[in-house]
Amino acid sequence: MPRTPDLLALFDESHRSRTVRELIDASGPTKSTVVRLVATLEQRGLPVTLIVPGRPCAIWS
């Protein structure tokens, strides 16, 4: 099971957005797990946005 920090580590200055597929491929969880983790980050006020299915997930700093 991936941890939220594992997902956050996939974002950096040159990768400010990632597709859900990229997050799944890089960290191994299912689509529903990635969406749930990102939604939790959003709810907790972190600067991350899950845009729409098939579109990038972006982290803002």
What are the mean pLDDT values of the chain's consecutive 10-residue runs (61 residues total)?
Answer: 78 84 84 86 80 61 46
- 5-23 CB burial, b ≥16 within 10 A, e <16: eebeeebeeeeeebebeeb
Decide: 20 and 57 in contact? Cβ < 8 Å.
yes
**What is the residue whose two structure tokens read 């729409």?**
52
